[in-house]
Amino acid sequence: MGCAAGEPAALRDVTEGGGIARATTGPEDAVTASGGMRAAVMRRVGGPEVLAVADVPLPGAADGQSLVDVTYAGINFDDIERRAGDGPTPELPAVLGVDVVGRRRRDGRRVVVLMRHGGGYAQVAAATDAHSVEVPDDISDEQAIGVFEQGATAYGALTLAGRVRPGESVVVSAAAGGVGHLAVQLAVALGARPVIGIASTEAKRAFVRDLGADHALEPGADVRDVTGGRGVDLVIDATGGDSTRALLGGVALFGRLVSYGWRAATPDRGVVTVSTEDLTDRSIGCAGFWMRHVVDDRPVLEAITDELFGYARKGLLHAHIDRIVPLDRVGEAHAAIADRRTTGKVLVDVRREG
């Protein structure tokens, strides 16, 4: 069935059904019987059911890009928001997915890639070379994608924006999530003490303690209760709204709060009101962090990735893979993440269906 006029060229002449790509190696991996590839396509905004697998043409590589045969794509909260219409809506039909790992066709190297404009839920991706990093031989595909985008967010929030120092206390909100569980491990590896994780259920709090956190608290708990009334030096926050406001009240003198997102399920999640009196009364600071600024600075991206792979190699950083779903079950994974039923990272094996 052909797509309507005006749809992106990469998705024109989409046909439903057709051959399923072979899970082998080599440049012809993802070529279907129709000469295209399989992808999870979003044709409209809506629930998880709007993601449907279809045959689509192979992407073309523009200048500064290389084709990558994808093994795994990551599922991130941004994908859920874009699919549901809560974030910027991509031009439809669209293929979501902002991080992939696979083998670059032009040289056979394994690479992990940030796909700024999506395209990850597919068997072949047109990857921007400046946003691609080679994966060391001793790092698996699963761990490479698990620690790359979300690990770089955690590391950047802790070090670039948060300026964490050994011996400082750190709180991580959403500590069982994709970024949060890596932030807990990195805070420990960087010498922070105590490290405190905030998580919504007892099972998730047990998971956070197993990561190395000194304390795991429920949302709304006063962090001063586990710091002798002093408060904490650094808060790494992804919730927003009232949750962030409550955490701000537990920041110690000369402490900092770094926001890298607003995932709370409340209408005010994107707004945190802070007065100059709030800041000056305890000489505290508030900062933000956006991964895009790392992506746009190649030397910084490479340096952070080297640090992450180094910590992984030493056993100090391990991405917890909650589940790996086949391509035709991306919608189920979206629902699980949206319902807060996952911990760590969720991956799509784009080579499998059924």
CATH of range 163-288; options 3.40.50.720, 3.40.50.2000, 1.20.58.110, 3.30.1360.20: 3.40.50.720
Q: Which residues contact 330 (CB under 8 A, 6 or more apart)?
A: 40, 48, 51, 75, 121, 348
* Separation between Cα atoms, residue 102 and residue 119, nearest integer Å: 13
Q: What is the pLDDT of residue 262?
A: 74
- The full DSSP string for 174-229 is STTSTTHHHHHHHHHHTT-SSEEEE-SSHHHHHHHHHTT-SEEE-TT--GGGGTTT
Q: What is the pLDDT of residue 328?
A: 98
Q: What is the pLDDT of residue 31?
A: 58
Q: What is the pLDDT of residue 245?
A: 86
Q: What is the pLDDT of residue 13?
A: 35
Q: What is the pLDDT of residue 206?
A: 98
* In the chain, where the domains are located: 9-147+323-349, 163-288
Q: Checking DSSP bridges between strand 110-114 and strand 132-134, what pairing results, if any?
A: antiparallel
Tokens (6 digits) for 168:
């400082």
What angle is formed at CA 15 by the lines to CA 11 and CA 20, rounded to 5 degrees?
100
Q: Is 243:262 a contact under the CB 8 Å cutoff?
A: no
Task: Walk along the chain (354 residues) and give the pLDDT tens digit of each residue.
Answer: 333 333 333 343 332 332 222 233 334 455 565 579 999 999 999 999 999 999 999 999 999 999 999 999 999 989 999 999 987 888 999 999 999 999 999 999 999 999 999 999 999 999 999 999 999 999 999 999 999 999 999 999 999 999 999 999 999 999 999 999 999 999 999 999 999 999 999 999 999 999 999 999 999 999 999 999 999 999 999 988 888 888 999 999 999 999 998 765 555 666 777 888 989 999 999 999 999 999 999 999 999 999 999 999 999 999 999 999 999 999 999 999 999 999 999 999 999 998
Question: What kind of fold does domain 9-147+323-349 have according to CATH?
Answer: Quinone Oxidoreductase; Chain A, domain 1 (3.90.180)
In terms of phi and psi (left: phi > 0; alpha: psi -120 to 50; beta: otherwise), the region of 27 is: alpha
Q: Is 155:308 a contact under the CB 8 Å cutoff?
A: yes
* Separation between Cα atoms, residue 352 and residue 354, nearest integer Å: 7
Please tell me if the domain spanning 9-147+323-349 has the same topology as the one spanning 163-288: no
Q: What is the pLDDT of residue 2?
A: 31
Q: What is the pLDDT of residue 4?
A: 32
Amino acid in the structure at residue 193: R
Distance of CA 137 to the CA centre of its chain: 23
